A and B are shown apart, each in its own frame.
Chain A
């Protein structure tokens, strides 16, 4: 999957006309991710990481630039985006499970309605996905009856059940209690071991060090620096990255 010179701006309306601000969330960002890669985007909040990730999944439409999934260009007019999105798994920061469906229903829905699998086959695959995130005991629970960690694991199961080509994860642990992040991280670690292609926005540094092949430092709408975790943990090249790393490492060790 590849993003080429993606650009996306938001208009934030103020009370008065002159208060309207244009926020450039993604400025000319390019990124390539190959099968089996695990890349991790990190950077200050509000820098546009989530917007960029949403553009990759075409949940937000880039103003300029191209998104490729395999050799198919998703930003061309007339592309069947629903088909493309079916090949991309997306995990949300605030989880967004379907509230009216049980865990099983959440995972099954796309298998039935998008992949059009027969009932039994869909059930089998949904159960397999839930087993993969080790949450089969929650099958018949509704999202409101789960803990945040359980819900996010169901969110991951929902994303992987279709066997997508890539999974995009937008800060999968940052809305959870610190106690609950562990179980989600463990799940992601398992996925990493299986060679799942993942692009993760996250600030879980120990996890990043362990699984990421490449880390991407994202600030003010652009990629400032890319490199293996060792680069960032030892001596990043840019001052901004240096600053950010010191701050984040101090925070986690304190």
Chain B
């Protein structure tokens, strides 16, 4: 295969890499957002959030993927025999722990006054959180979310260990093919990864800055 063919072969893995990272990013939002608000506004059970963060941030995701896919997969084929599910599950839950910390900082940045103003018009605590805090918290956390998304794209490379045929697996396969070129496939993979992380982090940052200016955060 010439360089161009190798490149195309790797690019064919982009949809899988993107769908794993986007899905786990969304799972991360769904977990991180409520956790952050529980941590700040439900003091009695905030230790649960702490424990969750410590555990997920303390174990390498590659260990979890291997454990779930090869360890639990045979016993609980639904859902752990599905490599795609395991990938999004592990990366998503880990991202939830990271995002929880990002949002927590943002909640403090937005300020308690907004909550007080919300309750003063008769909104319940969680309704004020949803209608007043969440939109501002997202704006406030765009820089952190940008780097978290980049992190997920990069970490999605680990899923080659459970046999998902995305960019990383493909470059390893190219390496194994004759004539045994070990440099080109990985350089190409690096270029593709940076092309995926940079624009997204950059545009998220820009969007956030513009919005922040608009709402005076």
- Cα A86 to Cα B120 with chains together (Å): 7
Chain B contacts for A98, CB-based, 8 A = 114, 117-118, 132
- Cα A36 to Cα B131 with chains together (Å): 33
Q: Is the CB of A144 within 8 A of B123?
A: no
- Cα A144 to Cα B135 with chains together (Å): 16
Residues of A participating in the B interface, judged by any CB pair closer than 8 Å = 57, 59, 82-83, 85-88, 90, 92, 94, 96-100, 109-110, 113-114, 142-144, 158-159, 162
- Inter-chain contact total with CB atoms closer than 8 Å: 69
Q: Is the CB of B121 within 8 A of A97?
A: no
20 contacts between A and B (CB under 8 A): A59-B119, A82-B123, A82-B124, A83-B122, A85-B119, A85-B120, A87-B122, A96-B116, A98-B117, A99-B215, A100-B132, A110-B121, A110-B123, A113-B123, A113-B131, A142-B214, A142-B215, A143-B215, A144-B213, A159-B121
Contact of B121 among A94, A100, A142, A162 (CB under 8 A): A162
Chain A contacts for B217, CB-based, 8 A = 99
Of B124, B135, B217, chain A has the most CB atoms within 10 Å of the CB of: B124
Chain B contacts for A143, CB-based, 8 A = 215-216
Q: Is the CB of A144 within 8 A of B121?
A: no
- Cα A144 to Cα B124 with chains together (Å): 26
Q: Is the CB of B215 within 8 A of A144?
A: yes
Question: Distance (Å) between the CB of B162 and the closest chain A CB?
Answer: 41
B118 — nearest CB in chain A belongs to which residue? A98
B124 — nearest CB in chain A belongs to which residue? A82
Q: Is the CB of A144 within 8 A of B113?
A: no
B120 — nearest CB in chain A belongs to which residue? A90
- Type the 1/0 row for B153-165, where 1 means its CB is closer than 8 Å to any CB of A: 0000000000000
